[in-house]
Structure 1
Amino acid sequence: MADPATYRPKPGEIPTDPGVYRFRDEHGRIIYVGKAKNLRSRLNSYFANPATLLPKTHAMVHHAASVQWTIVGSELEALQLEYTWIKEFAPRYNLAFRDDKTYPYLAVSMSEKFPRVQVMRGERRKGTKYFGPYTAGAIRETMDTLLRVFPVRSCSVGVLRRAERSGRPCLLGYIDKCAAPCVGRISVQDHKALAQDFCDFMGGEGTRFIKTLEKKMAGAVSELDYEQAARLRDDIIALRKVFERNAVVLSEDTNADIFAVEQDDLEAAVQVFFVRGGRIRGQRGWVVEKVEDASDAQLWEHLMQQAYGAEAHQQDAIPRQILVPELPTNHEYLTQWLGGLRQGKVSIKVPQRGEKAALMDTVQANAHQAMALHKSRRAGDLTTRSLALQELQEALELPMPLLRIECYDISHVQGTNVVASMVVVEDGLAKKGEYRKFAITGEAAIDDTASMYDVITRRFRNYLNEKEARATTVAASGEVAAAGIPGQEAADTPTSKFAYPPNLVVVDGGVPQVNAASRALADLGITDVAVIGLAKRLEEVWVPESDFPVILPRSSEGLYLLQRIRDEAHRFAITFHRAKRGKAMTASVLDTVPGLGTAKQKAVLDHFGSMKKVRGATAEELTKVKGVGPVLARSIHESLRTGVEGEAPAPAVNMTTGEILD
């Protein structure tokens, strides 16, 4: 671990202006981003007596190897720049959100030709309106009920295209839960208007729609059209069922998000109620790790920044009013920033009395319960991961904590279709976004040791190349430092895919595989990465150039962690190998047609739908396929009609299973 004194800026170097600062580790990776009204005052607090720092702040400053800063014109600019860099570089020591569950939203894709109503999770998409979040059961019931009154399309793209080709709607069209725009029962404009009515109802205008239907029902009764009146009556009941599901808690013109938090020294559990049209439309909860010894007001500033910044492209995600237990620091600048994202006025207030204060007490009770539940669920898991990493470090006698572990596995069938996998674990948790696959060919595919040497060499050669590229960037920016601007040693570039090396490399295998991986690292001149192997038979841990394995107890959490990593690497490699093998072993008669490549084969099959229809097509019909001209069309037609010695050509077959792919 680095000593903060080795990279502490000299007295007087740090300016007293507002700005944004970044802590970097020894590899140049940004591990923390912060902002300050006075950079000198804020940064000096990190280099105070280590005993006064919070555990995570202590770990961060000892993990870092340098600190940089950027001066800005105002606190508002600092707020915006801090958020931008946090989203771009994802520093590991900044507030990390962990949702207590992934809440679904009711979404309407208004940007499509035929807008679609669906349940969605995850990142928001541009041009789609979202309502919620809801619990999983409630959202399905709500959607099913509303489709009776607002029969908007809810089918997938594949079902829509199939209905358009066949001229017949899907089941929902037959039972009147879809207006069937796919077959022309409703025009594009009318269907979009129907989708807009759906959005207006979900946005809080339920009373208007119910009153309109009541007038229509009265008109149908006066005209003695009792069947129509009965249908309208059922629609009114359905709308009331959805509209009254959430109790009215505030006046109907109230649109607000109400926050509360329960915290201890290390973590904070946040709860928010979404009130739209005076009704509680949804609830969300998450837990954040507190990095700095920040006040409650500073914590609220970070929460506002991250809770709404991720939804900046959804203006309706930010309400007119945000209610919090305590005003965040710089709340004037936050109000300006959120107003710019929403493109409308936003106010941040602390309710003192009345209905809003009473509702905040309810949100606070939810936060208290969420914190208790989080501690009970996470205590064992967090303790187990920490214990496993500590046991491995001690058993392997490694000087550095195992912040990052990479595991490699080779997969093949009798030396064919050789592939390798790399899985990544940070702080005991899998980082699937950094998994990698390797295809191995040539001399490297002779045996497992050659394959392992090849994969390790390729992975760490990429790391060295990217490290050299960063060094070149730093050298090129030396003129900035020469100009007397401190803290600007390197240009900020996003982390590359191989830029961050592991503390430990785990290979699936025994002594030969371990020695091959170790030799690959030595040939590249890398000496600060430990290598071990986990042999399947007795689950022995092997280290390079050792005659005896390291034996971990069967009940060791460290051994369990290694097994889970090894099994994940094996699963990932097998998945890639099967995909590659299946692709290689699929043969088709179209492969024999001169001038017909893979892309055009796909185009032909997509156009006709099956090989049977391709064989029955005329040369003129084949020319209707994009990219197929008259000459190629005749070649395809003759190849499929002629076959071998006048026989019909063989169908496409999967050579592994024998399944006919026609």
Structure 2
Amino acid sequence: MDASDRKAAREHVTAALDGAASLVDQVALVPTEPGCYLWRDASGTVVYVGKAKNLRARLKQYVGLTDDRQKIPLMMQVVKSFDYVVVGSEYEALVLERNLIAQYHPYFNVDFKDDKSYPYIAVTESDVFPAIKYTREKHRKGTRYFGPYTDAKAARETIDTLRKFVPICSATCAEWKRARRLLEREPDQAAVANIVLAGKCRPCFDYHVGRGPGACCGAIDTVEYARHVRQVEDFLQGKRSHIVGELTEQMQEAAADLDFERAGRLKARLQGLNALDVKQQVMFSSDVDLDLIGFYREETISCACVFVVREGRTVRSVEFILDKGADVGEDELQAGFVKRYYDETADIPSEVCLSVALADSDVIAGWLAQKRGHNVRLHLPQRGEKRRLLQMAEANARHALMRYMVRTGYADDRTNKALLQLESALALDAPPMRIECFDISTLHGHFTVASMVVFTNGRPDKSQYRRFKIQTPLTEANDFVSMSEVLGRRYAPERMADARFGSRPDLLVVDGGKPQLTAAMEQLAALGLDIPVCGLAKSDEEVFVPWDETPVVLPSGSPSLYLIKQVRDESHRFAITFHRELRGKAMTASVLDDVPGVGPKRKRLLMREFGSLKRLRAADEEAIAAVPGVPAEVAHAVYQALHELA
């Protein structure tokens, strides 16, 4: 977290009267019971909702700034007041928290990026003859919802496919609506509904083509129709083996009764279901019911992908774009999504697989168990099939987020904002379309290297990356000297004229604080160059500039801070990769190059086989001699050389 953000927040919480000093006093009076709290800004708008087992202790973490989450200092700068609600248990606090977040949509809480309602498949269970429908409506009493889906087409196709296997009325059918109104006017006739409808209604088109059960014209009674409804709901929950068993039994009964027409219809439904199962990839040998939730995060946006596995098969996968990313902790992001997702779905499995442990996992598991009616386990798979599928969900989340960013122009808009913000914050003459960044990597003065990375139009331009071996003899790490050398070589007249090094940068970034910035300024002055330059310190993400003793602090979570950190981190990665490469080669060369019979080819064979000098040293003579192309006498010489060195 930026030091200035924390400092500003601390000044805010120590201000008088309307500031957070009064908040401190108010927090001291808050009870120590479980409940929910709501932070409000100056206009009274709720900016954050949270729950706590001990309200007073939790709120003290905010006003005392002892909560180490990135967003807290920034949030506390806008907070002016708070409310709280005391409840009887932490479980009740969790339920209330979800309701309050759904009501207020606070800015600092994790939520879906698209605030639209997602598609559901619904069954109107309160009707005498329940119907199936596609809907985006909020939950109505007496209706059971399955979903949410993120693909409207997939939801509609599921309904269409399902009605081919199990005839059930559609809520859009005009004849079903007419029958429904009739039964609502005569509720006492529900027990003989099929007889009543047979005399007053006509069959719909779906009934004639075999997709409707004929409830509208009395062709089916309520008991048989209820069996169809149960099969539909089992199908939507992924319980297909149960449906197959029931249909097989009904088909055999029809055949035994010589009702071959009905048996033929049931056989066609079974074949359709079996064909659908063939398309489903069997993931587990056992009939497990679980959800695997993978996440992928960018700086201020992320995606969650849910693999829904029922009876060992992946029933569907759904992706959700979230409005928080790396600006909140991984556990907070995942906990926020889990609460939101399972608050909106009735399809809760026996196990939910995540990649991180949640702080309130016991409470969330209890809440899910209460909704499901059976125990629910939150699991962190470390190996095996579940881990592989969780990684697959994470990969799908990454692809879904990339598609969203391309489709909405999110990345381009954010990059443009970043460049404009850097122009303003660093007092540049124009947006920095070409940024060059340098980093030094060394081991106590040995194997000292420098990296140069280039961002063009806010994107990495890897064809322009360069790396340098520092030639100045050093007995210890000296970033000042190393930075001076590499800048002198990069911006020498012959390199500036070399098209392979690209054009003059609009902004030069050095990884480090004042010393590195001073070295860069002195070297540029010696070369007679006037290039805008800044230094980025790792600790507090402060940007040092030549024209001010006080570092510039870019707003936390801003596109400009994200971009300049990305530039700095990329230069660090590129430098340390080169440094490790040189160090590894030197270590290998220093041992094996002096062994008789070991040349470049055999050295490559040995390192390819064992992977590292440490593993090669741990091997015995037989293992070394077993490497194709390494004779026994050479293996003996290698073994002796390595163990003499040890």
TM-score by length of 2: 0.51
Q: 1:361 Cα shift?
A: 1.3
Q: Deviations over 1:40-59 (max 9, x none)?
A: 66546656799x985x6566
1:261 equivalent in alignment to 2:271: no
Secondary structure of 2:349's aligned partner: coil
Corresponding position of 2:202: 168
Q: Distance in 1 between matches of 2:380 and 2:203?
A: 52
Q: Distance in 1 between matches of 2:87 and 2:275?
A: 53
Q: Deviations over 1:580-606 (max 9, x none)?
A: xxxxxxxxxxxxxxxxxxxxxxxxxxx
The answer on whether the counterparts of 1:93 and 1:291 sit within 8 Å (CA) in structure 2 is: no
Corresponding position of 1:345: 375
Structure 1 residues 172, 360: CA separation in 2 closer, same or farther (over 3 Å shift)? same
Structure 1 residues 179, 228: CA separation in 2 closer, same or farther (over 3 Å shift)? closer
Corresponding position of 1:430: none
Give % identity.
31
The code of the aligned residue for 2:229 comes to A
The answer on whether the counterparts of 2:164 and 2:211 sit within 8 Å (CA) in structure 1 is: yes
Corresponding position of 1:329: 359
Secondary structure of 1:98's aligned partner: coil
The code of the aligned residue for 2:337 comes to L
Q: 1:257 Cα shift?
A: 1.5
Secondary structure of 2:27's aligned partner: coil
Q: Distance in 2 between matches of 1:38 and 1:239?
A: 52
The answer on whether the counterparts of 1:259 and 1:324 sit within 8 Å (CA) in structure 2 is: yes
Q: Deviations over 1:450-469 (max 9, x none)?
A: xxxxxxxxxxxxxxxxxxxx
Corresponding position of 2:606: none
Which structure 2 residue ranges, 5 or more long, are not aligned? 1-7, 180-196, 422-646
The answer on whether the counterparts of 2:105 and 2:111 sit within 8 Å (CA) in structure 1 is: no
Corresponding position of 1:274: 308
Q: Deviations over 1:356-408 (max 9, x none)?
A: 11211111111111222233344449949997xx99xxxxxxxxxxxxxxxxx
Q: Distance in 1 between matches of 2:237 and 2:138?
A: 20
Of residues 27, 40, 57 in structure 2, which corresponds to 1:14? 27
Q: Distance in 1 between matches of 2:238 and 2:324?
A: 36
Of residues 364, 368, 380 in structure 1, which corresponds to 2:394? 364
Structure 1 residues 306, 386: CA separation in 2 closer, same or farther (over 3 Å shift)? farther
Q: Distance in 1 between matches of 2:370 and 2:98?
A: 14
The code of the aligned residue for 2:324 comes to K
The code of the aligned residue for 1:168 comes to R
Of residues 109, 128, 136 in structure 2, which corresponds to 1:121? 136
The code of the aligned residue for 1:296 comes to E
Corresponding position of 2:47: 31
The answer on whether the counterparts of 1:152 and 1:195 sit within 8 Å (CA) in structure 2 is: yes
The answer on whether the counterparts of 1:21 and 1:34 sit within 8 Å (CA) in structure 2 is: yes
Matches within 5 A, 1:112-261: 112-132=127-147, 135-156=151-172, 158-162=174-178, 167-211=201-245, 213-214=247-248, 230-261=264-295
RMSD: 4.1
Q: Which deviates the most, 126-135 or 258-267? A: 126-135
1:89 equivalent in alignment to 2:104: yes
Secondary structure of 1:27's aligned partner: coil
Q: 1:259 Cα shift?
A: 0.9
Q: 1:333 Cα shift?
A: 1.8
The answer on whether the counterparts of 1:146 and 1:239 sit within 8 Å (CA) in structure 2 is: no
Q: Distance in 1 between matches of 2:36 and 2:251?
A: 62
The answer on whether the counterparts of 2:146 and 2:236 sit within 8 Å (CA) in structure 1 is: yes
Q: Distance in 1 between matches of 2:289 and 2:243?
A: 19
Q: 1:185 Cα shift?
A: 1.3
The answer on whether the counterparts of 1:100 and 1:287 sit within 8 Å (CA) in structure 2 is: no
Q: Distance in 2 between matches of 1:219 and 1:159?
A: 31
1:110 equivalent in alignment to 2:125: yes
Secondary structure of 1:97's aligned partner: coil
Corresponding position of 1:607: none
Secondary structure of 2:20's aligned partner: coil
Q: Distance in 2 between matches of 1:62 and 1:119?
A: 44
Q: Distance in 2 between matches of 1:73 and 1:232?
A: 52
Q: 1:39 Cα shift?
A: 5.4
The answer on whether the counterparts of 2:238 and 2:315 sit within 8 Å (CA) in structure 1 is: no
The answer on whether the counterparts of 1:249 and 1:280 sit within 8 Å (CA) in structure 2 is: yes
Q: 1:213 Cα shift?
A: 4.5
Q: Distance in 2 between matches of 1:161 and 1:12?
A: 60
Structure 1 residues 61, 382: CA separation in 2 closer, same or farther (over 3 Å shift)? farther
Aligned residues: 384
Matches within 5 A, 1:194-593: 194-211=228-245, 213-214=247-248, 230-290=264-324, 294-311=328-345, 314=346, 317-380=347-410, 383=413
Q: Distance in 1 between matches of 2:280 and 2:370?
A: 31
Structure 1 residues 294, 72: CA separation in 2 closer, same or farther (over 3 Å shift)? farther
The code of the aligned residue for 1:119 comes to Y
Q: Distance in 2 between matches of 1:80 and 1:234?
A: 45
Q: 1:8 Cα shift?
A: 0.7
Q: 1:7 Cα shift?
A: 1.7
Q: 1:249 Cα shift?
A: 1.5
Structure 1: 4+ residue segments shifted above 6 A:
218-226, 384-387
The code of the aligned residue for 2:358 comes to P
Q: Deviations over 1:54-112 (max 9, x none)?
A: 5x656643443323445667644543443333233333432231259975443322221
Q: 1:193 Cα shift?
A: 2.4
The answer on whether the counterparts of 2:111 and 2:337 sit within 8 Å (CA) in structure 1 is: no
Q: Distance in 1 between matches of 2:146 and 2:76?
A: 42
The answer on whether the counterparts of 2:239 and 2:310 sit within 8 Å (CA) in structure 1 is: no
Q: 1:150 Cα shift?
A: 2.1
Q: 1:119 Cα shift?
A: 2.2
Q: Deviations over 1:221-257 (max 9, x none)?
A: 7898876664443222122133444222124532212
Secondary structure of 1:154's aligned partner: coil
Q: Distance in 2 between matches of 1:80 and 1:136?
A: 28
Structure 1 residues 123, 248: CA separation in 2 closer, same or farther (over 3 Å shift)? farther
TM-score by length of 1: 0.50
Structure 1 residues 373, 230: CA separation in 2 closer, same or farther (over 3 Å shift)? same
The answer on whether the counterparts of 2:131 and 2:168 sit within 8 Å (CA) in structure 1 is: yes
Q: Distance in 1 between matches of 2:294 and 2:414?
A: 30
Q: 1:305 Cα shift?
A: 2.1
Q: Distance in 2 between matches of 1:227 and 1:72?
A: 60
The code of the aligned residue for 1:283 comes to S
The answer on whether the counterparts of 2:280 and 2:314 sit within 8 Å (CA) in structure 1 is: yes
Matches within 5 A, 1:21-60: 21-36=37-52, 43=59, 46=62, 54=70, 60=75
Q: Distance in 2 between matches of 1:102 and 1:21?
A: 26
The answer on whether the counterparts of 1:217 and 1:228 sit within 8 Å (CA) in structure 2 is: yes
Q: 1:190 Cα shift?
A: 2.4
The answer on whether the counterparts of 1:25 and 1:64 sit within 8 Å (CA) in structure 2 is: yes
Which structure 1 residue ranges, 5 or more long, are not aligned? 392-662
Q: Distance in 2 between matches of 1:385 and 1:296?
A: 24
The answer on whether the counterparts of 2:297 and 2:303 sit within 8 Å (CA) in structure 1 is: yes
Corresponding position of 2:182: none
